[in-house]
């Protein structure tokens, strides 16, 4: 039976309050005949009742009726009254009986629309700031003049452009600190005096190679020239022995004149890493051949000044250290190089005013003496 058994035994009105709480847990199909069921969503007031099959007593009353117990309202007590309280009571009663939620219309006040406006304004302001930053960066990159008085045209720099990449082989912060301190003490300079190099310091790099925490000049120069780490002894090749393009080769292909000027052998690891590619630094004979143009890219050097003449002379000649009889000086001349090998030839260059490029100058059999 849809009506609890207690209703039959205790028909007094005092039991209606507890009975209401229990009846509201039932669905409308459990307590109402089909002819008396309320259609979902209707808002007009109606009396909901169920007939007991034994005594036909009234179970529920409309919201305008009062309970026999203290004339208390049937629905929630203490609720503030309003112009729409009766309507809301009917909607809530419908929802309890039908199990369907009431449809309420949300009213958006001034505070809500103010927050929406602030959000939209912040989004537009952020987008404008990003746009102006991108436009300014683009203008700076395409219109900023160079220190030599040049500028930019068609996306390329104009004017005179020279770049000297100086490598002090084996020099680190300790070498600079010793030089700075000695100069201050020997010449009576203040302790805050700095070297010319200090004004040009941009940054530093971690010098470890792929094979050791302590690098050698070959792996270090490969990092300088190719921008990639490799193993100790590598001459512009990667750990898998593939050659890597160097900054000097890129400059040559871009139309620059290129050169190497050293106080060591021109085939030593540091200069070699900019113009040659071999698996190990001891292959100086092969490095010499590549530097004069026997190279996958052809001749990439216009000027070479330094020592290491013994690797350019055939082993049948005095002063040679090559393992074969190949004459690399002769190979250089065939590739268009002019050649000087002593102090007289160097002085004849007249500080560069009497230079015919490409030029090969080898002024010592190995490293150039300090004095």
What is the set of active-site residues?
217
Is-contact 234 227, C-beta < 8 A? no
Position of tokens 């002085």?
A: 347
Angle, alpha carbons 270-306-302 (nearest 5°): 85
**Residue 243 forms beta bridges with which residues?**
237
Position of tokens 């004339």?
A: 71
**Residue 290 forms beta bridges with which residues?**
none
Closest CA to 57 of 94, 29, 110, 19: 19
Position of tokens 């050169």?
A: 259
Q: How far apart are CA 21 and CA 33, in angstroms?
A: 20
Q: How far apart are CA 276 and CA 297, in angstroms?
A: 10
Query: In this structure, what token pair is assigned to residue 305?
Result: 């000044």
Helix boundaries (H) for the chain: 5-9, 16-23, 28-31, 85-98, 110-143, 173-187, 217-226, 247-253, 269-272, 284-291, 328-334, 343-347
**Residue 307 forms beta bridges with which residues?**
265
What is the number of H-type helices and E-type strands within the chain?
12, 6
Show Cβ contacts of residue 2 under 8 Å, excluding neighbours closer than 6 positions.
Answer: 26, 30, 31, 50
């Amino acid at each position: 039976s849809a009506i609890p058994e207690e209703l039959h035994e205790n028909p007094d009105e005092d039991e209606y309050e507890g009975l209401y709480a229990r009846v509201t847990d039932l669905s409308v199909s459990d307590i109402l005949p089909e002819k008396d069921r309320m259609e979902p969503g209707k808002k007009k007031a109606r009396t909901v009742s169920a007939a007991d099959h034994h005594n036909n007593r009234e179970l529920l009353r409309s919201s305008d009726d009062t309970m026999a117990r203290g004339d208390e309202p049937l629905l929630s007590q203490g609720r503030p009254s309003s112009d729409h309280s009766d309507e809301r009571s009917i909607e809530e009663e419908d929802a309890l009986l039908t199990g369907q939620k009431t449809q309420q219309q949300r009213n958006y006040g001034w505070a809500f629309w103010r927050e929406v406006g602030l959000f939209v304004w912040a989004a537009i302001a952020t987008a404008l700031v990003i746009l102006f930053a991108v436009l300014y960066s683009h203008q700076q990159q395409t219109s900023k003049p160079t220190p030599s008085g040049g500028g930019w045209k068609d996306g390329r720099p104009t004017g005179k452009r020279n770049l000297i990449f100086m490598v002090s082989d084996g020099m680190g912060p300790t070498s600079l600190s010793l030089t700075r301190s000695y100069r201050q003490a020997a010449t009576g300079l203040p302790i805050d005096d700095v070297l010319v190099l200090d004004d040009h310091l941009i940054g530093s790099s971690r010098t470890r190679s792929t094979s050791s925490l302590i690098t050698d000049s070959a792996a270090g120069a490969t990092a300088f020239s190719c921008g990639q780490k490799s193993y100790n002894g590598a001459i512009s090749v990667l750990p898998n022995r593939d050659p890597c393009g160097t900054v000097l080769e890129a400059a040559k292909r871009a139309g620059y004149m290129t050169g190497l000027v050293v106080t060591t052998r021109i085939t030593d690891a540091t200069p070699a890493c900019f113009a040659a590619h071999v698996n190990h630094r001891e292959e100086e004979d092969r490095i010499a051949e590549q530097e004069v143009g026997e190279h996958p890219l052809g001749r990439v050097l216009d000027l070479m000044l330094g020592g290491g003449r013994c690797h350019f002379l055939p082993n049948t000649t005095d002063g040679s250290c090559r393992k074969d009889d190949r004459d690399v000086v002769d190979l250089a001349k065939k590739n268009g190089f002019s050649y000087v090998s002593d102090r007289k030839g160097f002085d004849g260059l007249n500080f560069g005013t009497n230079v015919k490029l490409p030029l090969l100058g080898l002024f010592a059999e190995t490293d150039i003496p300090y004095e």
